[in-house]
Amino acid sequence: MRRWWRAGRSVLLEYEDATLSVTHLTDAIARVRATPADFLPRRPWSATPPDDAFPPVEVAVEATGDGVTVRSGGGLAVHAAATGARVAVLHRGQTIMMDGDGGGPAWHADGRATWTHRMPPDENYLGFGERTGLLDKRGQRLACWCTDRYEYQGAGVDPLYQAIPFYLAVDAAGRSHGVYLHNTYRSVFDLTAQREQRLVMAVDGGELDWYVMAGPTPAEVVTRFTHLTGRMPLPPRWALGYQQARWGYDSAERIRAVAADLRRHDIPADVLYLDIDHQDGLRTFTWDPEAFPDPAGLAADLAADGFKLAAVVDVGVSHQPEGGYDVFDEGHRKGYFLTEGDGLLLRHVWPGLCAFPDFASPAVRQWWGRWYASLLDRGVRGVVNDMNEPAMHDLPMDHPDSARVEPPLDTPHDLDADHAEVHNVYALLENAATDAALRDLRPDERVLRLSRAGGTGIQRYAAVWTGDNGSYWEHLEMSLPQLMNLGLSGVAFAGADIGGFFGDCGPELLARWFQLGCCYPLARNHCARGRAAQEPWVWGAETLDACRAAVRLRYRLLPYLYTLLADAAETGSPVLRPLLYHYPADRRGRQLADQALLGRDLLIAPVLRPGVTARAVYLPAGRWYDTRTGAVHDGGRHVLVDAAIGDGLPLFARGGGVVPSGPVGRYADELPLNPLTLDVYPDRDGEAEGELYEDDGASMAHTRGVRARTRYSYRDGVLTARPVGLLDAPARLVVVRVHHPTGPELTRLIDGGKSWTVRA
């Protein structure tokens, strides 16, 4: 190190061949950058705010013989070594990460740059956005590059649709930290050098730029990561309802029939999807005049029965040079599509040759957003941004040799960028356009938004589904760690296609998928065209009963789930959590990917293999209640429980929790939350607590304070309700059920107002 100096809120350190920059953004988040030349200016698609957007942080700089330490009053210190631009990060006096010998930044002849951290042998690595495989990613090489993975298979397939270069590291003692690689070029996390104990982050372009977030708990890391990269706006409450989709619902009659079947079979449901089948010639933002002659009428009729319609939007715009398709005409005339040489970049998607909007341009985003009116004006209340990696083929999609391709990396974008830089934010920018447009078109309505591709911070704009999975038991199993890692990566509201998209789902797999899928944050059954139907009623009474029971359980728990969504919107906390989220020091629970916590107070242990009628469940320390049987278990050990299909999902409640639930309607908002049921599960000390969030579920009034939060606490046999939000909960009946480990549960019916206490 030759010298160091302060530059604004950063400390710059000059080495022989590089400059290092250390910036404290909060007392627990620091940014570290290195460059062999000049630092690059901030891009508008950066997932993080400019450094100056954070309130100032006091730092002290201490120079000694072995380097320079930049320390905040809150105890986050970044130490830069005297040689080699290597860093170590300390939190409250303890080293949480370090580059180690031979580590640090490096620039290579092939144009790539790497940053090497030490990878201690007893540390686990989670997050990384959307991945196949199990929870911990030690030993793997993970690329960040949004990829259309049509009919993807199981473990080892990488990357998928989302590019989120973030990980959560948890050490042997359960102390956690997070690292976010702030670079939109293709990047790779290489965790294969286990023997050498090295974790390498590689980027194909741009700058070596990363943020470190201290914990020590996983929850604190996730909160800090989402403080940095954004949280989701609260979706409509009905978005938690059951959602039925299928590629191949190709007429208004089909949709009406599905709606009628759902009601006839008494399956609560809220959302029906219009896939590309609703489009005229598979062209985005059009309606097939024959199959869907009166979309507004369809939407209105369905709305009267409690259904909301969501419609798919593809980014490929059908190339129609002869005219007649306004989206292409206008985009072409204004020069809004990506180019190749002197012409348009044209590749094949569903309608044939397509052009692709350049979402890096603010003008294009504004223009694109306006087309969503063609859906909303006809009563559509949810949108699905699909094929936005962007997905494209070299030959017509139905040609036997058709292969997936990508825009050439040197494809020019707005702001002098090329596709190598923009690819990983292409879908993000599309979703930003959608978000801005929906806020403008429907300022007081929460529209459901779903996206297949995305990048860091996608949760600010849309929920996510895990793309084209398959109807295999392996995919059922994989969906759980996949969604948990997405949740740790900031994407709390996500789901996998229930029943699997490709392949043919049989009755047992369908029933099991419903049991797990109804605990996904987003519960959508979706299936590919031409594959075996997988609506809950196609396999007869036994399967139907199992599916119905799963959906009804979800609807009963809507008050609890909606509170979790509100928490996610406020703090970034995931809905579906690995055990280590709350029990990071529990070595036995930390790798478990076949069970999960739904919020803090419920534990699910789904069956993920055929023919299984019992399963082992690991219960972390404390007391746990089997909600199906009332059996009470001491945690810190495994239990074996009955798990035949008819037994329902093995679902445990944490001793110490109060779980709110409500009546089951045909759709989420059919019935008021009256009576409210509070299941009190006392811990070993006889205490419990919980919360309930409420608002109108659909408008933006909650952002203006029209919302209620009630905190329940139970001790010495008395349950107390106290409003902690701006508004009080409405007056209603409350059923209090105290689950006593020794005797039968105790039920009280009380007239609940705002604050109350009851002896139960």
Q: Which residues are catalytic?
A: 386, 389, 468
**Site residues (CB under 6 A) for ligand GLC, limited to 40-59:** none
CB of 24 to ligand GLC, least distance (A): 42
Our CB check for ligand GLC shows the closer of 248 and 730 to be 248
Sign (positive/negative) of CA torsion 137, 140, 144, 145? negative
Within 8 A by CB and 6+ apart from 448, the residues are 235, 236, 238, 239, 271, 308, 310, 381, 382, 383, 463
Min dist CB 132 to ligand GLC, Å, is: 16
- Please identify which residue in 358, 386, 435, 477 interacts with ligand GLC, judged by CB under 6 A: 386
Beta pairing, strands 162-163 & 141-144: unpaired
Query: Smallest distance from the beta carbon of 497 to ligand GLC, in angstroms?
Result: 7
Phi, psi (deg, nearest 5) at residue 635: -80, -170
The 3 state secondary structure assigned to 705-743 is: CCCEEEEEEEECCEEEEEECCCECCCCEEEEEEECCCCC
* Separation between Cα atoms, residue 384 and residue 429, nearest integer Å: 14
Site string for ligand GLC, 493-532 (x = CB under 6 A): ---------------------------------x------
Beta carbons within 10 angstroms of residue 627's beta carbon: 20
Nearer to ligand GLC, 114 or 284 (CB): 284
The answer to whether 682 and 688 have CB atoms below 8 angstroms apart is: yes
Task: Compare residues 10 and 284 and give the one whose CB is closer to ligand GLC.
Answer: 284
**Residue 443, CA atoms < 13 Å, CB-side half-sphere:** 2
- Residue 454 beta carbon to ligand GLC: minimum distance, rounded to whole angstroms: 13
Surface-to-core class of residue 311, CB atoms within 10 Å of its CB (0-12 exposed, 13-18 middle, 19+ buried): buried
Give the residue with the Cβ less far from ligand GLC, 107 or 472: 472
- Give the Cβ contact number of residue 667 at 10 Å: 20
How distant, in Å, are the alpha carbons of 29, 116, 130, 287, 569 from that of 226?
A: 11, 24, 16, 38, 10
Report the residue number, 31 or 452, with the smaller CB distance to ligand GLC.
Answer: 452
**Rounded to whole angstroms, how far apart are CA atoms 725 and 711?**
9
Do the bridges between strand 166-170 and strand 176-181 make them parallel or antiparallel, or are there none, so unpaired?
antiparallel
Q: Which two tokens stand for residue 6?
A: 């302060």
502 DSSP assignment: B
User: Which of 224, 452, 460, 531 lies at the binding interface for ligand GLC (CB under 6 A)?
Assistant: 452
Look up residue 601 and give its DSSP letter.
T
Near ligand GLC by CB under 6 A: residue from 312, 317, 438, 758: 312
Q: Closer to ligand GLC by CB, 499 or 650: give it.
A: 499
Provide the 8-state DSSP code for 98. Answer: E
Instruction: Tell me the closest approach of the beta carbon of residue 274 to ligand GLC, in angstroms.
Output: 10
- Tell me the site size for ligand GLC, rule CB under 6 A: 9
The distance of closest approach from Cβ of residue 273 to ligand GLC in the complex, given in angstroms and rounded to an integer, is: 8
Strand 524-525 relative to strand 243-244: parallel, antiparallel, unpaired? parallel
Residues in the chain: 760
Quote the tokens at residue 183. 């670079």
Both tokens of residue 391? 């997905």
Contact map string, positions 220 to 259, toward ligand GLC, x by CB under 6 A? ---------------------------x------------
Between 314 and 435, CB nearer to ligand GLC? 314
Residue nearest to ligand GLC (CB): 247
Minimum distance of ligand GLC from residue 282's CB (angstroms): 8
Q: How far is the CB of 384 from ligand GLC (least distance, A)?
A: 8
Structure token digits, residue 39 = 């630092």
143 versus 276: smaller Cβ distance to ligand GLC: 276
Burial state string for 592-625 with b = 16 or more CB within 10 A and e = fewer than 16: bbbbbbbbbbbbbbbbbeeeeeebebbbbebbbb
CA distances from 315 to 283, 497, 604 (A): 10, 21, 37
Indicate whether 313 belongs to the interface with ligand GLC (CB under 6 A). Answer: no
* Nearest CB to ligand GLC, comparing residues 497 and 567: 497
Q: Least distance from C-beta 520 to ligand GLC, angstroms?
A: 15
Alpha-helix runs per DSSP H in 49-179? none
Nearest-angstrom CA–CA distance, 425 and 419 = 10
CB of 495 to ligand GLC, least distance (A): 12
Residue whose CB is less far from ligand GLC, 227 or 452: 452
The residue from 123, 130, 171, 275 that contacts ligand GLC (CB under 6 A) is 275
Least Cβ distance, residue 255 to ligand GLC (angstroms):
15
Q: Taking CB under 6 A as the rule, which mask of x and - marks residues 454-493 in contact with ligand GLC?
A: -------------xx-------------------------
Pair 544, 537: CB distance under 8 Å: yes
Q: Parallel, antiparallel, or unpaired for β 454-455 and 162-163?
A: parallel
Q: Cα separation of 336 and 192, whole Å?
A: 42
Determine contact, residues 58/47, Cβ cutoff 8 Å: no
Interacting positions 593-632 with ligand GLC (CB under 6 A): none
Question: Is 277 or 567 the residue whose CB approaches ligand GLC more closely?
Answer: 277
Selected from 11, 87, 276, 360, the binder of ligand GLC by CB under 6 A is 276
Q: How far is the CB of 489 from ligand GLC (least distance, A)?
A: 20
Specify the residue, 491 or 557, whose C-beta has the smaller distance to ligand GLC.
Answer: 491
Phi, psi of 541 (to 5 degrees): -60, -45
* Contact yes or no for 159/482 (Cβ under 8 A): no
Using CB under 6 A as the criterion, which residues of the chain lie in contact with ligand GLC when the complex forms?
247, 275-276, 312, 386, 452, 467-468, 526
